[in-house]
């Protein structure tokens, strides 16, 4: 979720940037999450053959569409959700 939001906003991010933006996530989880998102055709992965290594992540078209859907529902949520008391 946070990966999708971040990439929806910044368009392109490196692994370490994502890790910094997503508070508290471990490198391990970020790796497996990005791998899943890639498998599901939501993010694209671009590797630069350099030293030090550099990998950029971005949303696919489908990922962008999904991102908008999620932004829709979450902004609707913050507008309409009231805690009972």
Partner DNA sequence: CTGTATCCGGCTGGATACTG
Partner DNA sequence: CAGTATCCAGCCGGATACAG
Q: Is 30 helix (H, G, I), strand (E, B) or coil?
A: helix
By a kind-dependent CB cut-off of 5 to 8 A, residue 84 interacts, out of DNA, a second copy, none, with a second copy
Q: Does 36 bind DNA (CB under 7 A)?
A: no
**Of the candidate residues 29, 62, 72, 74, the single one contacting DNA (CB under 7 A):** 29
**Of the candidate residues 41, 48, 53, 55, the single one contacting a second copy (CB under 8 A):** 41
Question: Closest by alpha carbon to 58, among 9, 2, 11?
Answer: 11
Strand order in the sheet with 54-59: 12-14, 54-59, 43-48
Which is closer to DNA, CB of 2 or CB of 64? 2
| Region from 4-12, 20-28, 63-71, 75-83 binding DNA, contact rule CB under 7 A | 20-28
Would you give the end-to-end CA distance of the chain in angstroms?
29
């Amino acid at each position: 979720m946070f990966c999708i939001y971040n990439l929806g906003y910044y368009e392109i991010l490196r692994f370490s940037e994502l890790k910094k933006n997503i508070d508290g996530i471990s490198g391990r989880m970020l790796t497996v999450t990005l791998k899943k998102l890639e498998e599901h055709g939501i993010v694209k992965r671009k590797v630069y053959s350099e030293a030090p290594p550099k990998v950029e992540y971005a949303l696919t078209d489908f990922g962008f569409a999904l991102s908008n859907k999620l932004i829709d529902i979450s902004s609707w949520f913050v507008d309409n959700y009231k805690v009972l008391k």
